[in-house]
Amino acid sequence: MNRKEVFEIKSRLKKTGCTFTKMCGCYVNSEKEILLKLNETFLNLEEEEFYKYLEIAKKTLSGTLGNNLLELAFPLEEEKTGGKQQFLMGLRESKLKNEELLETFYQLIIDNYDYPGNYLILIFHDAYDVLTKTSDNRRLDESEEVYEYMIAALCPVELSKPGLGYLENENKIGPRKRDWVVGAPENGFIFPAFNDRSTDIHAVMFYEKNPIEPHKELMEQVLGCPAKSTAAEKKNIFQNIIKNSVADSEKSTRIFSDIQESLGQLAEEQAAASETSEEPVILTNETVQEILVENELPEEIISKIESAYAENFSEEPPAVEHLIDKKVLAENEKRKVEKALAEKVQELQGKLEEVTKGTGSFSSPGDIDRQSEEISDTLLENDVNNININENYDIILQVKPVKMDQIKSEIIDGKKYIMIPMEENEQINVNGERIF
């Protein structure tokens, strides 16, 4: 399933588009005992419950493909009578009305799920009338097929945090009663997969909230599929390959940084070459060798890295984007900016010294002012680039000190605006682009 197909299913999970026919499940305690069972006609749920359960189902289709969402393929033996795929097919075809199959499904999870606390097992049934789409993605009122599927979700159930609250009956502030609260799903899956906008009974899309420590026992024992590594795991493996191939830790850090730079450039080149393609760029053994040679690494280190890479990724080479460490790339970019800035400052200092000695090439004091302004702009741009854009801000302003006292806010037509007066010779740079 690609991003568009995941989004197509996920976008249906709202009040106006949801057609879930049934929802079943059970609540399991830490002793692996079933405390209660659910069996509901979904569309008959009270509105508040409806939205809460719908949000849980939607969460199992969230996250990044290849990291939180992994498409798993069933081995041939699991598609035979008695196999896990055949069992899931029967559960789907029963439309969750076969109590015996549901009991078997619950017990399969309980026996294999490595989770220490209480949790809720939920399973939803749905049938989606897939409409035909033209080449330009326009929908036609013609049905291609009915995609009948199930969504399963495993949600932790934990005690709410202790605290003080208003005790209405006693009219006082006191210890709040702690309740068992259902959290967002830790794991889940959708079966069958929705590939090429059609039913694919040979695959299942598995959801993992924590890709650093995925529940591979669910992939293997519950779904009967060979476990896949998440992008987070692959990135850690790749980093360890570099670290273990170079004895000097400082040198290994530099080499890893250089390789990350090469991977970033490779991803950018591929994205520019195929803007419409959703196919990931795979890092093959040959590509790894090219990158290592380009970075002029010693033959001994190249050999170690190549050998370890082939050993770890021979069956399933990772996508380049899954190995890229954005933090390392950001640090590389910061170092480049700082280096360029230092060179610029050094150049200006040299020219100022020449002027002081009377041997400089400045034709007038205005030249010095312009050079000073250029350095000021470079410093400003460097500060902007270093702002953490992941902070919870929609707008981040960086202005020269002289403009600080001129900033005002006004309400116009009911909306708040930031007002910054400008002189004719002043310029504005927004997100790295000059707009005035």
Could you state, in chain order, the average pLDDT of each consecutive group of 10 residues for the chain (436 residues)? 92 87 95 95 90 94 93 96 96 96 97 96 94 66 84 95 86 87 96 94 96 95 95 91 83 86 83 65 87 88 91 87 85 80 78 66 56 57 50 68 75 78 77 63
List the one residue out of 44, 53, 63, 45 whose CA is nearest residue 182: 53
Amino acid at 427: Q
Question: What residue spans define the domains of the chain?
Answer: 3-228, 232-324, 327-434
User: What's the pLDDT at 368?
Assistant: 55
Given this model, what pLDDT does residue 94 score? Answer: 96
Question: Residues 6 or more apart from 326 whose CB is under 8 A from it?
Answer: none
- The torsion of the CA quartet 75, 79, 84, 85, rounded to 10 degrees, works out to 100
Cα–Cα distance measured from residue 312 to residue 241, given in angstroms and rounded to the nearest whole number:
9
What whole-number distance in Å separates Cα of residue 373 and Cα of residue 350?
16
For residue 382, what pLDDT is reported? 54
Cβ–Cβ under 8 Å, residues 297 and 238: no
Going 51 to 53 to 58 to 62, the CA torsion angle's sign is positive
Distance between CA atoms of residues 374 and 3, nearest Å: 44
pLDDT for res 60: 96
d(CA 414, CA 209): 41
Type and span of the H or E element at 332: helix 326-357
Strand partners, 429: 434
Query: What pLDDT score does 380 carry?
Result: 56
Long-range contacts of 245-248 (CB under 8 A, 24+ apart): 245/301, 245/304, 245/305, 245/308, 246/301
How many CB atoms sit inside 10 A of residue 366's CB? 9
Distance of CA 278 to the CA centre of its chain: 16
- Give pTM, 2 decimals: 0.73
The pair of structure tokens assigned to 208 is: 């993992």
In this predicted structure, what is the pLDDT of residue 411?
76
